[in-house]
A and B are shown apart, each in its own frame.
Chain A
Amino acid sequence: MMMTTPSDPTPPPGRGSDGVAPSLGDLDSTTRRMRRQVGSKFAGVVAVAVLAFVVQGLVRNSALQWSVVGQYLFSSEVLSGLWTTLEITVAAIAIAVVLGTLLANMRLSKNVVLRVVNGVYVWFFRSVPLLVLLIFAYNFSLLYTNLSLGVPFGPSFVTFATKDFTAAMTAAILTFGLQQAAYTSEVIRAAIVSVPRGQAEAAEALGMTDWRVLRRVILPQAARLAIPPIANETINLCKSTALVAFISVPDLLYSVQEVYSRTFQVVPLLVVATIWYTVIVSVLSALQWWLERFMNGPSRSGRARLAARETL
């Protein structure tokens, strides 16, 4: 080993301590060659081949009757079913997020009663199968003939018959919304808990009220963490809504069933439904991607705007 001598002021750029390179030979004239990843390329070829077989099987299979698929894909019956599916999904997830946020805060509250109420709620809605709940809700008028608003065991102020209330659509939206709220509340609770404690402390120390701390500091940061799982649940929920066919809500699945019960073209109509479900999920996935990006650079656009305004 040679040592750097004081008479050798600065080593040439690109080399560490001078005196090491010579013992390694002339590295300047060498090149590097990376591994060719043969296995990975082979796997890619196999995957493409399998995919080609599957596509061929789908396209060439006469049982799928692609012309029938094309005929019904944009038929008004199917489109109205698609719209119903979207309505239920959007309404249910809206209920789930609002109610879920409320439930999450009940769970995190200092008040024992609120915590217990939340516990019972989550326990109940996670215990009962969705389909059972759905049929229950549909038959709600059998359980309770009148719904009234008033003091428990005391006088009531408003009373309405549940027959109007249990229009199948309302039953569906409430069932999905209420059950999803139980799951979503757990997601939101986890997100709130993972915002560092110091954030709330700093806000409190500045004199913010509890509500303001939650709204301005905790929830915006929790939202970033909660969005991927909630988007995931929305996708799941959208497909679960197919269950409403059981209570004759004319959603996407129900409307294709209506058609094939007349025409007996079961498989092509299920393909129609499948295509629309994949379209919805693709749109939701894109939305999720956009939301995540938006949340991860929260003030990027805002900062650009501010900076632009201040340079003016």
Chain B
Amino acid sequence: MTTPVLQAWRVSKSFGAERAVDQVSLSVQAGTATCILGPSGAGKSTFIRCLNFLERPEDGYVFIDGDPLGFDRRGDVFHEISSRRLARQRQKVGMVFQQFNLFEHMSAIDNVIEAPCGVRGVRRADAIEKGMELLRKVGLAHKAHSLPRELSGGQQQRVAIARALAMEPRLLLCDEPTSALDPEMVHEVLNVLGELVAEGMTMIAVTHEVGFAREVAHRFVFMERGAVIEEGPSSNLSVDGVREDRTRSFLEKVL
């Protein structure tokens, strides 16, 4: 088996006395999509934010293509690296947020080319060309010069996906990408994500869309109270298919 794109090893994160994520491990192979399901407050979002160090895990490690994130391993010692080097590592991991978080003062295309131009030093003309291609892919080339506030939620999220893809990440993290959307817009975003998975994008998504998890993703992880309760192929995602009672009772409520 090849080196997984992402490996989380006993990742833990507390807020005060509360253990939000408790020794969660996860391994994701290239070209697969994994959905993280679970009731709210299960630590799903905190865990996915640990995977690119938006939350710093106080314990455990995250490996991207075998390299520890935020650390430099020399023998048995993990040395914390500078924020500048962490920033460079983060280029490999794209992220899509629940609230889109588009840069409000920039047009859609400027949002998309900001990191390629500013971080990777791509020539502006090349970045625009590539950016327009990405916007076309998410069906928003005609909105390239609109500001985020002029776009609907679904459109903003699709621009945000294009922005993440512009950095050509090895892995795309999606933190509840459709939870802030009106019902009729959920579809357009899930369609885009589904296409990406079909093209072989490696993806980890925290979602409440069990249908998406079952039909599009390859694997699922069910979390509760900061821990992984069950993990398996997404084809098992049905009341009869899952092993654990807790997963079953969750699915009974949401399906």
Contact = CB atoms under 8 A, between A and B. Distances in A.
A299 interface: yes
Contact of B95 (A196, A202, A212, A221): A202
Interface string B79-112: 0000110011111011101010111111101100
A145 B79 CA distance: 50
B75 interface: no
B93 A205 contact: yes
Contacts of A207: 87-91, 115, 119, 167
A258 interface: no
Contacts of A196: 99, 101
A87 interface: no
B114 A206 contact: yes
Nearest to A201: B54
B105 A209 contact: no
Given A207-B90, A207-B91, A209-B84, A299 B102 contact: no
A111 to B, nearest CB: 13
Size category of the binding interface on chain A: 20 to 34
Contacts of B91: 206-207
B251 interface: no
Chain A interface, >50% SS class: helix
Contacts of B104: 199, 221
A203 B119 CA distance: 10
Contacts of B164: 205-206
**For this complex, into which size category does the number of interface residues on chain B fall?**
20 to 34
A182 to B, nearest CB: 28
A217 B87 CA distance: 15
Contacts of A221: 103-105
B155 interface: no
B118 A208 contact: yes
Contacts of A203: 103
B181 interface: no
Contacts, number: 80
A307 B167 contact: no
B101 A307 contact: no
Interface string A272-312: 00000000000000000000000000110011001100000
B102 A204 contact: no
A298 B105 contact: yes
Interface in A69-105: none
Contact of B90 (A205, A299, A302, A307): A205
Interface string B162-200: 011001000000000000000000000000000000000
Contacts of B147: 299
A210 interface: yes
B103 A199 contact: yes
A201 B160 CA distance: 13
Contacts of B93: 205
B52 interface: yes
Contacts of B89: 207
A154 to B, nearest CB: 30
Contact of A202 (B84, B87, B101, B110): B101
Contacts of A208: 87, 115, 118-119
B116 to A, nearest CB: 9
A205 B119 contact: no
B123 interface: no
A204 B105 contact: no
B119 A212 contact: yes
A220 interface: yes
A301 B175 CA distance: 34
B90 A198 contact: no
B89 to A, nearest CB: 8
A299 B107 CA distance: 7
Nearest to A295: B105
A204 B106 contact: no
A210 B83 contact: yes
B145 interface: yes
A224 interface: yes
A212 B91 CA distance: 14
Contacts of A298: 105-106
Given A202-B102, A205-B93, A216-B118, 7 more contacts: A203-B103, A204-B90, A208-B118, A210-B87, A212-B119, A221-B103, A298-B106
**Top 5 A-B residue pairs of the complex, sorted by shortest distance between their CB atoms:** A207-B91, A202-B101, A198-B101, A206-B115, A205-B95
17 contacts: A198-B99, A201-B101, A202-B103, A202-B160, A203-B103, A206-B91, A206-B94, A206-B115, A206-B163, A206-B164, A206-B167, A209-B87, A210-B83, A221-B103, A221-B104, A303-B107, A303-B145
Interface of B: 52, 54, 83-84, 87-91, 93-95, 97, 99, 101-107, 109-110, 114-115, 118-119, 145, 147, 160, 163-164, 167
